[in-house]
Copies of this chain bind each other. A is one copy, B any other.
Amino acid sequence: MENSTNIAVSQVITPAELLAHWQGHRRVTRRTIEAFPEDAFFNHTIGGMRPFANMVMELLAIGVPGLKEIVEGKREAFNEDFKHDNKKATFLKLWDDTTDAINTYWAQLKPEQFQENVILFGQYEGTVWSQIFYFIENEIHHRAQGYVYLRALGIEPPLFYVRD
């Protein structure tokens, strides 16, 4: 018990804190999806980039399948181009399903796994922490591009630092 107390105190960030941090960012991304007008979410672009809907499809293709592969060790397919009905409500539903699934898989992740090396989707190799950081940071990266799309449309994006 002495030992585990020491471990907890010396953590830069605990697994529970990292999960809460990720879900906080995911709430901001959800608000970013909500801020888009229905058509602009699927059609608005700048400089030949993808519409924000396609970036969100990428995020959905990474979060749960990536975490599931880390936890279960079975290769997952990377599918960022799924069929949908061009409705924002469908994306928000998928987003919320993902929130629950991330919590479920996270509970199966062992603290000692974060420093282990894994290959995801058959090609991306790195420690588990670096994979999860990539999931979060890739989301921040694309969401920030969504912020520029919103500004170009004259719409105020959600506050970056409010994570509730």
Flag whether A1 is at the interface (Cβ < 8 A).
no
Nearest residue, chain B, Cβ from A138: B160
Interface code A1-34, partner B: CB below 8 Å = 1, 0 otherwise? 0010011011111110110010001000000000
Nearest residue, chain B, Cβ from A154: B47
Query: Which residues of A does B touch, CB under 8 Å?
Result: 3, 6-7, 9-15, 17-18, 21, 25, 46-49, 111-112, 114-115, 129-130, 133-134, 137-138, 140-145, 147-154, 160-161
Interface contact A12-B10, CB-CB below 8 Å? no
Nearest residue, chain B, Cβ from A142: B144
Interface contact B10-A129, CB-CB below 8 Å? no
Nearest residue, chain B, Cβ from A160: B141
